[in-house]
Structure 1
Amino acid sequence: MDKLLACTIVLLLFINTIKTDGCHKRKFKEDSFVCVCNELECDSFEPVTNPPKGLIYSYVSDKDEHRFHKDTLDPKTLNTVTADSIKLSINVNETYQQIIGFGGAFTDAAGINIKSLPDKLVLDLIRDYFGKDGLEYNMGRVTIGGADFSPRPYTHQDDYQDLNWTHFALAEEDLEYKIPYIKLANDFSGGLKLFGSMWSPPAWMKYQQRINGTGILIGDPGEVYYKAMASYMVKFLDEYKKHGVEFWGITTLNEPSAGFKPDYPFNCLGISPEQMTKWIAKDLGPILKAAGYGKDKLKLLILDDNVSLLFLYASRVFSNYEASQYVSGVAVHWYENKLFGFDQFDKTHQFFPDYFMLSTEACTGLGYDGIAVKLGLWSRGEEYANDLVGNMNHWSSGWVDWNLALNTIGGPNWVSMFVDSPIIVNAEKQEYYKQPMYYALAHFSKFLKPGSTRLGFKVTNPDDNVRTTVFKTDQNQLVVITVNSNDYAANLTIEGFAENVVGLTLGPHSFRTLVINKS
């Protein structure tokens, strides 16, 4: 009996280490499905490789059937050309921005949900984002102190009104829910580009003495509170470094417009474009540099807010030499992109081409019928994919999602403002679900490696619901990514991709990535 029990345990351990290919589908109430990961089964991706010379690798995800389905295609047999075909003409000599990367946010909420899983699933989930058989993320956003997706409002020195930060300390949330998973992700990715974002300094630094609601820092840039806020950010970087975590970048502040809004529900601080410019020039830039975090060591990104404010903040900061000398780029959130489009991306690049733009926050589900998480809702994957195409085609050098993982109601969130996530954790059932958003991200992040360059292209006979972007990787691959949001198939012809004109059909509600080796 003991021998039988031992054999059973060994067999179970063996089964639990298998990471199978192929989505384990589960349908809930929505129009598509999720892929389930538990201790017995979880789908994974093949590492991306170069296709054989003259052939095309095609990867398809769609609403009805596929999740990252791979085929090898011979372009000589792809001759579906019709009068209604959308014509894509690629110009390999017309080049634009290079990719920095893709990633997600190490929030307290993400860490709480990840920690609720068995050890094997913790590894699987982190690998699903950062591993070679996952999304291959190379970036991560880290909250400096608490945010809305924290179990409580907090900063790193709430109880002591000391501008020298002698009582500054990392919180339990840093040590339990962020740092361990950052380190694990770094191991899987081979090196993360991390950037920190602060939602609010301690409440006692504001006129209003509150963590949320209208909140303005006491005094003016160049004075003690603004200098102390810069030193607070240095302390954060230093403390994380003591735990073996170093940062690639930092943003000036999460959503600096929020602190001007009456009764704003969660952690915030208001800083105007003029205040931001003066703070960087007089305090933040010099203090970061003096602490060893100058522009050659740490990327400082301004804004970290919505597109309607992009040119306003960029024009103030970048037109001021004293401030701009410390800054590398602009961080933009996605929440107004559908409303305002990407014109401000183009305008900002036109006037200030030396600074990169990076999308640093996105999520769906807020305010949708009171139900944040919709398991398997395909349109949320399309929202991600269409925004990714828009960002790529308008000078963004990368795209960083919001929470890496949330629970089945879209939390925890200390003000109960729940949203959706590409991965949803069901702690009760000890499993997690990969949403259509997750696979939408895969069609970009697995192929557009750092250093990939966007190429010029022209679309003839366009369809507003079929969107495309084109890149060349540093491995000399051409990558075409398409999103068809129609209820019907669309025919596409591509010139300048293979030796001959390629004609193919894009299925309804589908994402497709095409890769060809041009070496």
Structure 2
Amino acid sequence: SPAPMASFLPIIAGVVSQTGGFSGPSWPPTAVCPNLVATEYGAVCECDGTCGNVWPDPTPSSPRTAIVVTTSEATGFMETEEIGLEYGAFVRQDTTVPYMDLTASPAQTHQEIKGFGASITDAVAYCLRELLSPAAAEELLKQAFQHAGFSFARVHLGSTDFSRMNYALAHERDLSDWCLRDDRTADGEVLKCAAEYGEEADYKVGVLKEALARNPELKVIVSAWSAPPEYKHQQYSCAFESKAVLACEPDLSLPPVMNCTTHVADPADCVGREQQEPCPTDPPTQWEQCDPRVCYGCDVEEPDACFYPNINSLKFDEQTPPRNAAGNCYNGGFIRDEAYDAWASHYARFIADYATLGVPVWGVTAQNEPGTQTGLWQSNFFTDEGQVEWVKDHLAPALRAAHPQVKIMLHDDQPTTLLSKALPIAQQVGRDAVDGIAFHWYTGVEAVYVNGPAKPPVPGTPIVNGGEDVKKVYEDPSWGKPGEKFMLMSESCSGYSLGTTWVGPRHGAHDYGYSTAHDMLWHLRNRAAGYVYWNLLLDHKGGPNVAGNFVDSPAFVIDENKFGLNPSFFYMSHFSRFVPPGSTAIEMQVQCGAKQDAYCQYVSFRTPTGQVVVVITNDDIRAGPAAVVTAGLPALARGQCTSGRDCEPIEWTVRCQADGAYAKGRIAWRAIQTVVMPCAPPTPPSSPPSEAPSAPAPSQPATSPPASPLSPPRGDSKIPCMVTEDCPEGEECLQQARRRVLFSSRRMQGVCVIGV
């Protein structure tokens, strides 16, 4: 939930130019996306009950070949070819064209990769269970957790802003009224609790079980937004910690800043809302008497008559959190000292109940965005000292006793405070109480700022970036040796820039896809162990959301039988499909012949099967408040496609240091490529092969998913084919080999394609 951006993005937007939008040729269909549909902002892959697609094999078919997977406006999503490796010395003949020559060092390893994925919120479950047909919902989960290889799913304890109402799982401190539930039951109706109704009481459980069936190695992360209001007090004061960032302090000598008088009580009232239009509360709050879409961001004669959402920088002050919460105590306040143990018991009970229902929990974050204190949606306020006490004295002891296998992560907040808050808190909590540090992407501002220190981009603006601090914290031995602890990017999404025109979904936006890939690449370069998107699926408006905080998502509902896959889904798949959990990031030497070193972008891994995977990009940031000419912004955020060489393709080589074999190719402007090659193939023949050896077409089982969803069968053998006009249902057919395999429906006519 990107609350910090709510306060300071309007400031940034005032000093930079906003660019973006779709332009260029129409995207062509590919085997991964055969049903491409144009949108206002670009193109999406439309799935009508089934996607009917064929995914590329994640490993080369021969020890002397490499796979190159490309996404660009010219090639479409994940166009794949298999090329022959070359051997011996490589001498670049023309150094006047942009190039980068990469040499892998598999022995120089860094962090282990835990995985990639997205969150399963109430909103996601609502879209899957109530908006999509069962067949369409099953197909989406298959695409994400089997084919794309998603191996993380983040879920919430209690309600989040992507719920349709405020609710807690218990209000009594002894948990005597405990009810594992979701957001489908309005106040006053008879609750369905898991103790009696099983997984029917929480539709997220059923979704997670289906995801686990597709990927048995799925890791489930639990995060909490708000404790029950009865566990919290509202005696606090707030002051500016930095430009447009508030920090609140509890003070029991003060009167409450508000009384707990209201909350969102009926999910039915939360459907069909508009962007930045919160769901109505019961009883109605003051700001519901006006239209926030009219009053938002404007000067009114009586500002107190209509103040929600209070995110305009000119009106953001010390009283903003209680004014925004407006009597809804789910949206703010501090946990009472005497309620800490009860709140820790929520975590332990939730993990136990999920395990009983067939969903094991891998890890928890101690609190979602503990430093985000705006009152816009569900949150617990914490000071740094309060976080130390909460984790060290209550949460960690409770979980280490009841669920010692569960990982505990701190922070779960912005990278701008990794050095100033996350690291000192981890040091004070102690090594035995923390396993990792989670962080979000929002202060990267649509990935404009991803690999630098935490600082204002220009004087007088809020602090952004902090991407380079991911590596600094990971390598700091004071909270654990590198490899013993991990860093995890636990929440990202586009369309969160409240206060700018870049708010809400932009279906088909290549810019959003590239921003995601750019952010993934640099955080992985800086030692992140994985990457988790926010909601996997939302409705066409980007909701539902209790606060009217609609955003983009990898997938979205079109109608009951159709869903769309956005560019961000495929950009993420360039990593998740080919870099399975257990891979390690490795060192890569580079000779950069681009105009600026910033244009040579890559990240490299070694998989458990010995493949080297390199993800390469050649692009700029065109989403969000990216500047054309403004001081203080990184090179890739300046809209470089304005003159000559900046817009050219980049030629590349990827060499395996171990044996000298290399692949070569080129990446077009505004593209992403994944290169997969073996790093220790057999001794090459005395003379290099004159052409790439034969390679089979990609294949996937047509029945139940394999134990490893990334390892479908291949080789010349008779196996079941997907149903096409060339391969009737039930027919056994011979998988065919081709010298140069481009896994595209346009090039596979007349060939039986193996797939699901």
Answer whether TM exceeds 0.5 for this pair.
yes
Matches within 5 A, 1:241-390: 241-258=355-372, 260-261=373-374, 264-290=375-401, 292-294=402-404, 297-320=405-428, 323-337=430-444, 338=449, 339-352=464-477, 353=482, 354-367=484-497, 369=501, 372-390=504-522
In the alignment, the residues of structure 1 paired with residue 392 and residue 86 of structure 2 have an alpha-carbon distance, to the nearest angstrom, of 58
Partner of 2:99: 85
Give the match's secondary structure for 1:61.
strand
CA displacement at 1:349 relative to structure 2: 1.7
Aligned positions, number: 482
- Name which of 116, 123, 137 aligns with 2:138: 123
Matches within 5 A, 1:398-437: 398-427=530-559, 430-437=561-568
Partner of 1:10: none
Kept after mapping to 2: 8 A contact 1:81/1:491: no
In the alignment, the residues of structure 2 paired with residue 249 and residue 275 of structure 1 have an alpha-carbon distance, to the nearest angstrom, of 21
Kept after mapping to 2: 8 A contact 1:317/1:324: no
Question: Could you tell me which amino acid in structure 1 is paired with residue 228 of structure 2?
Answer: P
Kept after mapping to 2: 8 A contact 1:179/1:245: yes
CA displacement at 1:419 relative to structure 2: 0.2
Give the match's secondary structure for 1:432.
strand
Kept after mapping to 2: 8 A contact 1:146/1:155: yes
In the alignment, the residues of structure 2 paired with residue 422 and residue 228 of structure 1 have an alpha-carbon distance, to the nearest angstrom, of 36
Kindly tell me: are residues 42 and 215 of structure 1, through their superposed partners in 2, closer, same or farther at Cα, counting changes over 3 Å? farther
Partner of 1:505: 666
In the alignment, the residues of structure 2 paired with residue 46 and residue 504 of structure 1 have an alpha-carbon distance, to the nearest angstrom, of 18
Question: Could you tell me which amino acid in structure 1 is paired with residue 649 of structure 2?
Answer: A
In the alignment, the residues of structure 1 paired with residue 662 and residue 502 of structure 2 have an alpha-carbon distance, to the nearest angstrom, of 48
In the alignment, the residues of structure 1 paired with residue 220 and residue 566 of structure 2 have an alpha-carbon distance, to the nearest angstrom, of 24
Kept after mapping to 2: 8 A contact 1:35/1:43: no
In the alignment, the residues of structure 2 paired with residue 147 and residue 172 of structure 1 have an alpha-carbon distance, to the nearest angstrom, of 11
In the alignment, the residues of structure 1 paired with residue 536 and residue 549 of structure 2 have an alpha-carbon distance, to the nearest angstrom, of 16
Q: Unaligned regions of 5+ residues in structure 1, if any?
A: 1-19
- Is residue 572 of structure 2 the alignment partner of residue 441 of structure 1? yes
- Name which of 51, 61, 68 aligns with 2:78: 68
Kept after mapping to 2: 8 A contact 1:311/1:344: yes
Partner of 2:606: 472
Kindly tell me: are residues 427 and 53 of structure 1, through their superposed partners in 2, closer, same or farther at Cα, counting changes over 3 Å? same
Kept after mapping to 2: 8 A contact 1:423/1:432: yes
Kept after mapping to 1: 8 A contact 2:493/2:552: yes
In the alignment, the residues of structure 2 paired with residue 344 and residue 482 of structure 1 have an alpha-carbon distance, to the nearest angstrom, of 22
In the alignment, the residues of structure 1 paired with residue 367 and residue 385 of structure 2 have an alpha-carbon distance, to the nearest angstrom, of 14
In the alignment, the residues of structure 2 paired with residue 458 and residue 204 of structure 1 have an alpha-carbon distance, to the nearest angstrom, of 56
- Is residue 616 of structure 2 the alignment partner of residue 482 of structure 1? yes
Kindly tell me: are residues 374 and 75 of structure 1, through their superposed partners in 2, closer, same or farther at Cα, counting changes over 3 Å? same
- Name which of 202, 219, 222 aligns with 1:196: 222
In the alignment, the residues of structure 2 paired with residue 144 and residue 172 of structure 1 have an alpha-carbon distance, to the nearest angstrom, of 10
Question: Could you tell me which amino acid in structure 2 is paired with residue 27 of structure 1?
Answer: A
Deviations 1:366-386 (A, max 9, x none): 235265111211011110111
CA displacement at 1:93 relative to structure 2: 2.5
Partner of 2:267: none
Partner of 1:8: none
CA displacement at 1:459 relative to structure 2: 2.7
CA displacement at 1:129 relative to structure 2: 0.6
Give the match's secondary structure for 1:68.
strand
Kindly tell me: are residues 216 and 444 of structure 1, through their superposed partners in 2, closer, same or farther at Cα, counting changes over 3 Å? same
In the alignment, the residues of structure 1 paired with residue 532 and residue 469 of structure 2 have an alpha-carbon distance, to the nearest angstrom, of 19
Question: Could you tell me which amino acid in structure 2 is paired with residue 488 of structure 1?
Answer: E
Kept after mapping to 2: 8 A contact 1:153/1:211: no
In the alignment, the residues of structure 1 paired with residue 227 and residue 487 of structure 2 have an alpha-carbon distance, to the nearest angstrom, of 25
Give the match's secondary structure for 2:86.
helix
Question: Could you tell me which amino acid in structure 2 is paired with residue 499 of structure 1?
Answer: G
Question: Could you tell me which amino acid in structure 1 is paired with residue 353 of structure 2?
Answer: E
In the alignment, the residues of structure 1 paired with residue 228 and residue 422 of structure 2 have an alpha-carbon distance, to the nearest angstrom, of 27
Partner of 2:21: none
Kindly tell me: are residues 169 and 393 of structure 1, through their superposed partners in 2, closer, same or farther at Cα, counting changes over 3 Å? same
Partner of 1:11: none
In the alignment, the residues of structure 2 paired with residue 341 and residue 63 of structure 1 have an alpha-carbon distance, to the nearest angstrom, of 31
Question: Could you tell me which amino acid in structure 1 is paired with residue 73 of structure 2?
Answer: K
Partner of 1:514: 675
Q: Unaligned regions of 5+ residues in structure 2, if any?
A: 1-30, 184-198, 235-259, 261-327, 450-463, 621-646, 681-756
Kept after mapping to 1: 8 A contact 2:417/2:466: no
Kept after mapping to 2: 8 A contact 1:278/1:323: no
CA displacement at 1:185 relative to structure 2: 0.3
Give the match's secondary structure for 1:421.
coil
User: Please, what is the CA RMSD of the aligned residues?
Assistant: 2.1
Question: Could you tell me which amino acid in structure 1 is paired with residue 369 of structure 2?
Answer: E
Kept after mapping to 2: 8 A contact 1:142/1:194: yes
Kindly tell me: are residues 44 and 272 of structure 1, through their superposed partners in 2, closer, same or farther at Cα, counting changes over 3 Å? farther
Partner of 1:147: 160
Partner of 1:396: 528
In the alignment, the residues of structure 1 paired with residue 663 and residue 217 of structure 2 have an alpha-carbon distance, to the nearest angstrom, of 37
Kindly tell me: are residues 493 and 47 of structure 1, through their superposed partners in 2, closer, same or farther at Cα, counting changes over 3 Å? closer
- Name which of 315, 319, 343 aligns with 1:229: 343
Question: Could you tell me which amino acid in structure 1 is paired with residue 558 of structure 2?
Answer: N
Kept after mapping to 1: 8 A contact 2:105/2:587: yes
CA displacement at 1:318 relative to structure 2: 3.0
CA displacement at 1:81 relative to structure 2: 5.4
CA displacement at 1:458 relative to structure 2: 2.8
Give the match's secondary structure for 2:665.
strand
- Name which of 22, 25, 28 aligns with 2:39: 28
- Larger relative helix fraction: 1
In the alignment, the residues of structure 2 paired with residue 518 and residue 199 of structure 1 have an alpha-carbon distance, to the nearest angstrom, of 45
Question: Could you tell me which amino acid in structure 2 is paired with residue 395 of structure 1?
Answer: R
In the alignment, the residues of structure 2 paired with residue 184 and residue 457 of structure 1 have an alpha-carbon distance, to the nearest angstrom, of 38
Question: Could you tell me which amino acid in structure 2 is paired with residue 62 of structure 1?
Answer: S
Question: Could you tell me which amino acid in structure 2 is paired with residue 484 of structure 1?
Answer: N
CA displacement at 1:508 relative to structure 2: 1.6
Kept after mapping to 1: 8 A contact 2:104/2:587: yes
Kindly tell me: are residues 232 and 186 of structure 1, through their superposed partners in 2, closer, same or farther at Cα, counting changes over 3 Å? same
TM-score of the superposition, structure 2-length normalised?
0.61
CA displacement at 1:313 relative to structure 2: 3.2
Kindly tell me: are residues 422 and 44 of structure 1, through their superposed partners in 2, closer, same or farther at Cα, counting changes over 3 Å? farther
Question: Could you tell me which amino acid in structure 2 is paired with residue 206 of structure 1?
Answer: K
- Name which of 170, 178, 187 aligns with 2:213: 187
Partner of 1:459: 590
Kept after mapping to 2: 8 A contact 1:364/1:419: yes
CA displacement at 1:483 relative to structure 2: 1.1
In the alignment, the residues of structure 2 paired with residue 130 and residue 418 of structure 1 have an alpha-carbon distance, to the nearest angstrom, of 24
Deviations 1:140-191 (A, max 9, x none): 101111101111111112xx4x211110111244735301100000000023
